[in-house]
Copies of this chain bind each other. A is one copy, B any other.
Amino acid sequence: MKDFFRVCGVLVILSACLMSFTPPCDGGNILVFPLDGSHWINMKVLLVELHAWGHNLTVIRASNSWYIEEKSPLYTSISLTMEESMENYFDDFVKENIKREGASSLTVFKLIKNFNSMVLEVHKLWVNMTAKLFDDEKLVKSLHDAKYDLVLTDPGVGTGVFLAKYLKLPLVLNVRWITSGEGHFAIAPSPLSYIPAPGSGLTDKMNFIQRVKNILFQSVIEYQQRFVLGPAYNTLCDKYIEGECNIMSLLQEADIWLFRSDFVFDFPRPTMPNVVYIGGFQGKPAQPLPADLEEFVQSAGEHGVIIMTLGTLVNALPEDLADEIASVFAKMSQKVIWKHKGKRPSTLGNNTLIVDWMPQKDLLGHPQTKAFVAHGGTNGVQEAIYHGVPVLGIPLFFDQFDNLLRLQERGAGKILELAHANRRSFEQAINEVLHQDSYRQNIQRMSRLHRDQPIAPMDQAVFWVEYVIRHKGAPHLRTEAYKMPWYSYYSLDVLLVLMTAATVLLLSTFAVFRFLCCRQRRKSKTKQH
């Protein structure tokens, strides 16, 4: 009976697709400006799909790009000469961050300062490169001549956003972070009473002190946007764009926001009609493992396997911590696969396999995998949700704490902060995640909810890119209310006028009454006399 419904369902959806809805457009011509590093990993997943749908892709990259290949069967590339590599900035930043000096206020302040100067330097690099691009008449002419249908960009840096405006093309964002802070804050009302500022380490349920912290945190981000990052981009507005603009107003003009999140992962919040949630769009069923890895995994028997990775930016933990973790693993009955590029820990057990690289998605989807020790990057967390594997998170920087917090809040993961990580705390935490049933139950519930969508997030992403091509934009889905002055947007001018009117009315009524009373009293007095 269940199968009957399943088949009927598919047939109805199929017929609906065939009968009433527009088919995918013929191959479009898409100009892509991706962000380097881990962001490229998921942009590439989207490009693979768009390529498979017959779209023609052109990718703009830095000549010294870190991850983005010059030659690819997926796309044609345009390489721009960049003086310095982004990688250098990140390397220094990463080294500072994993020093484990303890979480004193001084350290936190230093880390924030480091982060801000790193971010500013990276944005300045890109602003300079964008200016050079716009000054290169030959290149600009070739971009015009190519007659692109739209610009697809990750607005973590602003170049793609400016490019769309400069070439007068529709704009689709593949986004979670904009130049400053989280994407939603640019377009959707975000009451700070229940929407945690990014990086604040808060949830959607805050007490008074937490709400104070949240507002202060968001103020710092606003300050950074208004007085540090914003001005860095203003030179582009002044020199190359007709009419007034700033990076925020250009973001607000985007046609579609493909948002790398969803409300299984994130806390519910107001959103806008042109935001499409594609969280976990990279998720797909696991493929078989290479034979040797499969053999290792199976050799774990009923105890299963733990996998551990700290992402793409960090090669290895500090040696002492790596040794402590290795000694904990050595005592466990599980087998462990650990992506680790540093010095081989001296305490490594026979049950632990050190690897340079691992097929992370396929391992997460393997029924033998019992827990995932991870840094909390968006890709890894989304894959853990997709496959329903509980997470022990060791957040290092950026949004990693916030990502892991969302799992911890749902009882689907546990956070171990680097500053407090040692043999004892790690052992306790990994055993809790492995043996307390609720972790597995909760992440598997998240997995069921995440997979239960009317269409897959990747199909959504492709649909809306093609929608923008078909209709040459989607202005009807975005409000232009942001163009109002802020006091009008918040109706402060109207409230001021209404309150003044009410006060004048009240005072004049009072004055008239007083006048009448006085006259009456004077009359009575005259009578008495």
Asked if A463 is an interface residue, CB under 8 A from chain B, the answer is yes
Chain B residue nearest to A471 (CB atoms) is B449
Could you say which residues of chain B place their CB within 8 Å of the CB of A5? 23-26, 53-54
A215-B498, A272-B270, A484-B193 in contact; A449/B476 too (CB < 8 A)? yes
The reply to whether B454 and A455 form a contact with Cβ atoms under 8 Å apart is yes
The reply on A452 being an interface residue by CB < 8 A is yes
Given the complex of chains A and B, what is the CA–CA distance between A25 and B215 in angstroms?
Answer: 44
Chain B neighbourhood of A494, CB < 8 A: 192-193, 208, 211-212, 215
- Does A459 contact B26, Cβ atoms closer than 8 Å? no
- Binding-face segment, A76-84, A149-157, A261-269, A430-438: A261-269
B460 to A454, Cβ gap below 8 A? yes
* Contact call A9/B24, Cβ cutoff below 8 A: yes
Q: Of A11-19, A35-43, A93-101, which stretch is located at the interface? A: A11-19
Contact B211 A488 (CB under 8 A): yes
Asked whether any CB of chain B lies closer than 8 Å to the CB of A217, the reply is no
Q: Is A89 an interface residue (CB 8 A)?
A: no
Q: In the complex, which of the residues A215, A267, A453, A459 has the most CB atoms of chain B within 10 Å of its own CB atom? A: A459
A257 to chain B, nearest CB (A): 13
Q: Is A13's CB under 8 angstroms from B459's CB?
A: yes
- The answer to the question of A451 belonging to the interface, with a C-beta cut-off of 8 Å to chain B, is yes
Please give, as numbers and ranges, the residues of chain B lying within 8 Å of A10 by CB-CB distance: 14, 17-18, 23
Whether B268 and A263, one on each chain, are in contact in the complex, defined by CB atoms closer than 8 angstroms, is: no
State the copy count for this chain. Answer: 2
Measured between beta carbons, the chain B residues less than 8 angstroms from A268 are: 272-274, 476-479
The proximity string for A residues 449-486 relative to B, scoring 1 for CB distances below 8 Å and 0 otherwise, is 10111111011100110010011000011111100100
| CB atoms of A271 and B273 under 8 A apart | yes
Give chain B nearest CB distance to A266 CB in angstroms. Answer: 9
In contact, A479 and B194 (Cβ under 8 angstroms): yes
Chain B residues positioned under 8 Å from A359 (CB to CB) = none
- Chain B CB within 10 Å, residue with most, of A1, A193, A451, A463: A193
Q: Are B193 and A455 touching (Cβ within 8 A)?
A: no
**CB-based contact B16/A2 at 8 Å:** no
Interface string of A373-413 (1 = CB under 8 A from B): 00000000000000000000000000000000000000000
- Chain B nearest CB, measured from A312 CB (Å): 26
The reply on A44 being an interface residue by CB < 8 A is no
Q: Does A285 contact B (CB under 8 A)?
A: yes
Contact between A455 and B269 (Cβ–Cβ < 8 Å)?
A: no
Query: Does residue A204 face the partner (Cβ distance < 8 Å to B)?
Result: yes
Question: Could you tell me if A20 and B454 are in contact, using CB atoms closer than 8 angstroms?
Answer: no
Known: A12-B459, A211-B491. A264 touches B191 (CB 8 A): no
* A180-215 near B? 1/0 per residue, CB < 8 Å: 000000001101111000000000110010011001
Interfacial chain B residues near A497, Cβ < 8 Å: 212
Q: Taking the complex as formed, is A227 at the interface, i.e. its CB lies under 8 A from any CB of chain B?
A: no
Interface contact B26-A17, CB-CB below 8 Å: no
Closest to A453 in B: B21
Identify 8 new A-B residue pairs, CB closer than 8 A, beyond the known A5-B54, A191-B490.
A6-B23, A13-B459, A22-B448, A189-B191, A193-B488, A268-B478, A448-B471, A454-B454
Q: Offer 29 A-B interface pairs, CB within 8 angstroms, sorted by A.
A: A5-B54, A6-B23, A9-B53, A13-B13, A19-B285, A20-B285, A22-B448, A22-B452, A189-B189, A191-B481, A191-B490, A191-B491, A194-B479, A194-B481, A194-B489, A204-B479, A204-B481, A208-B488, A211-B493, A212-B498, A215-B491, A215-B495, A268-B478, A268-B479, A269-B479, A270-B272, A271-B272, A271-B273, A452-B467
Q: Which of A's residues lie within 8 Å of B, judged by CB?
A: 1-2, 5-6, 8-10, 12-14, 16-26, 53-54, 188-189, 191-194, 204-205, 208, 211-212, 215, 263-264, 267-274, 283-285, 448-449, 451-456, 458-460, 463-464, 467, 470-471, 476-481, 484, 488-491, 493-495, 497-498
